[in-house]
Amino acid sequence: MRILAVSVTIAALLAALAGDREPRYLSPSELAVDPSGRLLYVAAETANAVLVLDAASGAVLRRIALPDPPGGLCLAPDGATLYVTGAAPKGKVFEIEAASGRIVRALAAGHTPVAPRLSPDGGTLYVLNRFDNSVAVIELPDGAQTGLIPVPREPVDAALTPDGRWLVVANLLPVGPADGDFVAARVSVIDTQSKRVARHISLPNGSTGVRGVTVSPDGRYAYAVHIQAHFQLVTIQLDRGWMNTNALSIIDPAAQALLYTVVLDEKTLGAANPWDVAVTADGRSLVVSHAGTHELSVIDREALHARIAGKPNPYREAARRSAFQTSLPPPDFRLVEGIRRRVKLTGLGPRGLALAGGKAYAAEYFSESVGVVDLAASGSPQVSSIELASSREWTTERRGEFLFHDASRSYQQWQSCATCHPSQARVDGLNWDLLNDGTGNAKSTKSLLMSHETPPAMLSGVRERAEVAVRAGFRVILFSPRREEEAAAVDAWLKSLRPVPSPFLVNGKLSPAAERGRRVFEKAGCASCHPPPYYTDQKQHDVGTGAGVDAGRKYDTPTLIEVWRTGPYLCDGRAATIRDVLTVHNPEDRHGVTSKLSEQEIRDLEEFVLSL
């Protein structure tokens, strides 16, 4: 939908784009199992509901309606209380009586709360506020928030050690500029006694898309799954993980140290987009869901640790400032040979995992089902799916969403569109040297939100329209051209995406500082190239930020809608923050006359831009 009126507010734009849509799909994304192993709780993300299943029969016993999408769930140790986060801008944690499904109360949370985790004694609840970049500490039963712990960028999953001492948090994306030699996401280890971060552990260079984390039953190890990108290389091929591999990193929570990173792919067969990870109660097996290839990896955990024991870690941590290794070592595909089973699921898009009774359960997002794998079976494990809804034909948009996330038909299954555009087609925080505008000029990954409404596409404007870019992406990035109807389906899904309201808004409106910043936006001339409603003139300009072979190049004016979510900024990601764009990287005031603004005006302008 394209809005032609020029004078429209952000609130009106969001309302117009939101429309009056009823959710058509369940989209199971997270799971929890009760202590007896008899009941399975399923977060139906796009249906604003939690389903309660009989694990043995697969029967849906109850549907718990929620006012917001369920962003995560956990059970009290006795199984009597279910905690579900409502993943909305003004988030809530719903405390639910498990036996009846009755919502007892709603506790206030931050922007898009996810992954609630309960302390072993059931007295403290930890909640990740994804777009506030924080972890809330809530004391039960009174529900008072007693701590708010900042973490780097988009916390999406967490795990507690069995003694409750350490909370290990997976942060989805790298933070900071993207034009350096070292760019990596971090895992945060929080000391629950002091309610402070003990350390932000940098994962290997190029790590992004950190989706899942778990802790071993003895608490000695944490495991995080993520994309391991080789962003230093020109994207000429996919063979042997040239662009992306898919990895499992092993962390010592008590020592706050990265111990080892293991590649989950085979030499000529990728295991794209690992989403969640879990350890069996006996500690013998690691289970990883691969959302892109619709399978699980079942790894002999004891054998894996035996293989890496005494070996030097081939990946160096970012904290080692002196002469660290910036290019990754060749992937060692042999580490999991013979000790890992790749189990193909009958459903599509496995995300959250739950383990109980010798079985692995996987939330199969696109097939609206729960996959069941018998881990105790010798040889090839038994695989089945519990259908949560009657079979129905996909809409064009739903098919496009699936194709965007599906890696099974990319060359050797290495990646999908969502690999470099995780989280509803936004950014991965990295620079890539694509071949569409020469080589030696890596560009920051661009959010695809509103890409069809604001042509041209790509930062350098080399694709006339987003439709052209979608088809080129399948051909030269996934090395897997698609039929026209499939590319059109991806177009339809991308067009359906809606902006998420900024965390800088106050009750959905501009703060007083942002209102002042709106006037500074006009005063500094920003609106000349970034006019509402899309905050782009859809033209190309040389703003003095091109370097090397790109010196003097004109760049497409990006939309500022949802810019709070899409850093780092400028063509090569050199600006970590909007403030850096306005001050450090604005040569000769070529993208806004900011050099003569007061400190207060800079702060207000930044607040306004981040509120869009």
| Helix residue spans in 352-459 (DSSP H) | 396-405, 417-420, 422-425
Residues of the chain with pLDDT under 50: 1-22, 317-325
Measured distance CA(484)–CA(498) in Å, rounded: 24
Residue 316's pLDDT is what? 61
pLDDT for 177: 96
Q: How far apart are CA 546 and CA 538, in angstroms?
A: 18
User: Which residue type does 465 have?
Assistant: R
- For residue 41, is it within any domain? no
Q: What is the CATH number of the domain that holds 605?
A: 1.10.760.10
Provide the residue type at 567 as one letter.
G
How many Å apart are CA 539 and CA 529, to the nearest integer?
Answer: 8
Whether 473 maps to a domain, the answer reads no
Q: Would 110 be classed as within a structural domain? A: no
What pLDDT, on the 0 to 100 scale, is given for residue 327? 61
Instruction: Report d(CA 363, CA 46) in Å as an integer.
Output: 13
Q: Return the C-alpha torsion angle 426, 428, 432, 434, nearest 10.
A: -30
Q: Are 6 and 531 in contact (CB under 8 A)?
A: yes
Query: Which residue from 444, 452, 566 is spatially nearest to 500, judged by alpha carbons?
Result: 566
578 part of a folded domain: yes
Residue 558 resides in a domain? yes
How far apart, in Å, are the Cα atoms of 526 and each of 10, 455, 501, 612? 16, 19, 21, 13
Write the pLDDT tens digit of every residue in 224-274.
Answer: 999 999 999 999 999 999 999 999 999 999 999 999 999 999 999 999 999
For residue 143, being part of any structural domain is answered with no
Residue-number span of the structural domain to which 516 is assigned: 512-611
Q: Look at residue 546 in the predicted model and tell me its pLDDT.
A: 83
| CA distance linking residue 78 with residue 173, whole number of Å | 35
Strand partners, 215: 222
Q: Mapping DSSP to helix (H, G, I), strand (E, B) and coil, where does residue 537 land?
A: coil
Q: How many domains does the chain have?
A: 1
Does a structural domain hold residue 33? no
The answer to whether residue 595 sits within a structural domain is: yes
